[in-house]
Amino acid sequence: MERDNHQEGEAQGVKICDSPSESNPPADTLATSLSLLGNHMFPDPVERNDGTTVVKEEPADLHLSDVTAQEQSLDAEHVSNQVKKLETEAAENSECQNNESTETTERGTEDAAIDNDQSDSGEFVVTMLAKAKLEEQGIGVKGRSSPLLEAGTQESPAFMSHRDEDVTADSWRQHRKHVFVLSEAGKPIYSRYGSEEALSSTMGVMMALVSFVQSSDNIIRSVYSEEHTVVFLQKGPLVLVCVSSSRQSEQQLRGELLYVYYQIISMLTQASISRIFEHKKNYDLRRLLAGSEKILDGLLNLVDSDPSFLLAAIHCLPLASSLRDSLSQILQKAITPNLVFSILIAKNQLLTIVQEKTVIEDTRLEPADVHLLLNLIGASSAFQAGEIWTPICLPLFNPDCYFYAYISYLDPPECTVCLLLLSTDKEAFYAVAECKRKIEEAMVAQNSLSLIAKAQSYSVSQVGVSDLRHFMYKPFDVPDNYRQLTQFTSPEMEAPYSSEGEKMRLLDLYRYMHSRIHSTSRPLKLIYHVAERETLLAWVTSKFELYTCFSPLVTKACAITAITKLLRWIKKEEDRLFIRYPPKYSTTPNPSKSSRGGKSDQQDSTDNGFLSLL
């Protein structure tokens, strides 16, 4: 049962084809090369998930969870295979990415259908994975030496487009997190590193994997190996794949892929993407996304470095509530028909947000939509003197229609304070620009800009709890009875977390705590975790979610006391740390309702319950 797919490297070389029928020959090659490699690479046959993992389903012995593929046939030829878990939908196996594959049993064998091709399909899967793997793993080196493989190497970077990275280089494989987006026809749409052209065969393999599993009415969700986790997400006609060595949980990675999907939707809308692919299955979506790669790159960098995405909450800039209120009032007064959101941002953090009340009565802006907006602003700031007017879709609000965003900086040339006005009227630019003039005037009159300039994040030392190094606090519904933008607060990361590397290490610890807390199989409420250089405590209640980081020697009792103090401090500072009562205005005697409501009903839009209200 186990084979080693380990040769990812090789795999690369192997040409895999997308269709199962062709898979055979490569599989053979693979097998051969595998066996060559197998022994030395993985001495211990079992249970190390090495890289590849394919998973097939197998009855119980391996850990793998579920899955559809069959493995039997394969064993014969190879040596040890280890790993595998393809998790299909059914199985969620939570925490064990690594070794613990606990639950195997119940997934019985579902191989039924596949018997005769078994062998073929089995090999096919292996091949696929091996191939897929290549990208992930840096390993593989040996594989390369094998003559068998060479023939297949297709990626010659003859024509490098925006990213010139050599996708055959080790450095490329060693990226911590790759993200690929492809269409159902296997056409490359986006790759975080390297050019899509050079990766087209790799993406073809990914798609083949997806369709192979699909052909037995199953869905491929992830592939685990010792060092990498491969997560698949299918959304409509798009397939998103993440190959990560970051040790994040599958859920977290899938959440990140979802952000990528939403960012694409925010540029094109879900409706138009489906329309395009219904029309032409092999459409090259890069035509429409050309130029947007930097927006996606920026998003992925933010996702890696900003815990807002992990917590699905907004981080607003701490501000005296009187100042925040006065800013809100300024926004509230500068309105025009069809204006639905007015958002003020400083240093990439939210200052205040005012929303139209009739249309959006019971809804709130989802944090994810705000994150996408912030990312868009970051990416469009190149030419900061101008006033930007662009269509943008807020996918969680309504994935199928556009808002029109007016973006302008209020403090050129520094460009730290940004005004974002969203209208439902495509033609409203001049009217909306006039709102900005009013806002500008009012802010000059109240000297708001210099007050905003003084605002800054806070230091954990202000909390006055010794041993506390950092924390993230996310209240649910602040204030209690008010449905509100989900927010969190967090101090600056200070020494010892001031270097980039250390920041990332702390974030990784938080991600780990988060994955434990939110584990689907064994969710936890409270975790006290003693790490090498610090001690962390995470706690979730019905009122909040809290992650704290202490110096290493703190005891559990001390930590609990510290948290009590911290909570008291937050309570006291709450007006400054959070946007408490988001103000509203009314711009519409009636008009914009129709534009939004009309479109919305035709869509399936699953999660927007509010649409029905309109």
List residues near another protein by CB under 8 A.
Answer: 159, 267-268, 287-292, 294-295, 335-337, 376, 379-380, 382-383, 385-391, 405, 425-431, 433-434, 437, 440-441, 444-445, 591
Q: Which is nearer to another protein, 318 or 395 (CB)?
A: 395
DSSP secondary structure string, 44-69? Answer: S-SS---S----B--STTSS----SB
Closest separation in Å from C-beta 281 to another protein: 19
Q: Which is nearer to another protein, 390 or 459 (CB)?
A: 390
Q: Where are the beta strands (DSSP E) in 461-563?
A: 468-475, 487-488, 526-530, 535-540, 544-550
Closest separation in Å from C-beta 449 to another protein: 12
Closest separation in Å from C-beta 16 to another protein: 28
Q: Which is nearer to another protein, 390 or 555 (CB)?
A: 390
Closest separation in Å from C-beta 132 to another protein: 30
How far apart are alpha carbons 20 and 23 in whole angstroms?
5
Q: Which is nearer to another protein, 385 or 557 (CB)?
A: 385
Q: Which is nearer to another protein, 11 or 435 (CB)?
A: 435
Closest separation in Å from C-beta 162 to another protein: 9
Closest separation in Å from C-beta 23 to another protein: 34
Q: Two tokens at 335?
A: 């309105």
Q: Which is nearer to another protein, 267 or 614 (CB)?
A: 267
Q: Which is nearer to another protein, 57 or 440 (CB)?
A: 440
Q: Which is nearer to another protein, 68 or 380 (CB)?
A: 380
Q: Which is nearer to another protein, 429 or 569 (CB)?
A: 429
Q: Which is nearer to another protein, 236 or 391 (CB)?
A: 391
Bridge partners, residue 526, by sequence? 539
Closest separation in Å from C-beta 586 to another protein: 13
* Under 8 Å between Cβ of 352 and 344: yes
How far apart are alpha carbons 175 and 171 in whole angstroms?
7
Closest separation in Å from C-beta 263 to another protein: 12
Length of the chain, in residues: 614
Closest separation in Å from C-beta 482 to another protein: 29
Phi-psi region of 57 (alpha: psi -120 to 50; beta: other; left: phi over 0): beta
Question: Backbone phi, then psi, for 338, in 5-degree steps?
Answer: 75, 5
Q: Which is nearer to another protein, 61 or 441 (CB)?
A: 441
Q: Which is nearer to another protein, 294 or 556 (CB)?
A: 294
* Under 8 Å between Cβ of 12 and 149: yes
Closest separation in Å from C-beta 312 to another protein: 25
* Under 8 Å between Cβ of 110 and 216: yes
Q: With 0-12 CB in 10 A as exposed, 13-18 as middle and 19+ as buried, what is 158?
A: exposed
Half-sphere exposure of residue 121: CA atoms within 13 angstroms, side-chain side: 24
How far apart are alpha carbons 322 and 315 in whole angstroms?
19
DSSP secondary structure string, 305-365? Answer: H-HHHHHT-EEBPP--HHHHHHHHHHHHHS--TTEEEEEEEETTEEEEEEEETTTTTT---
Closest CA to 578 of 478, 461, 472: 478
Closest separation in Å from C-beta 430 to another protein: 4
* Under 8 Å between Cβ of 548 and 573: no
Closest separation in Å from C-beta 239 to another protein: 20
How far apart are alpha carbons 303 and 89 in whole angstroms?
25
How far apart are alpha carbons 209 and 55 in whole angstroms?
11
Neighbours of 159 (CB within 10 A): 8
Pairing of strands 584-585, 349-356: parallel
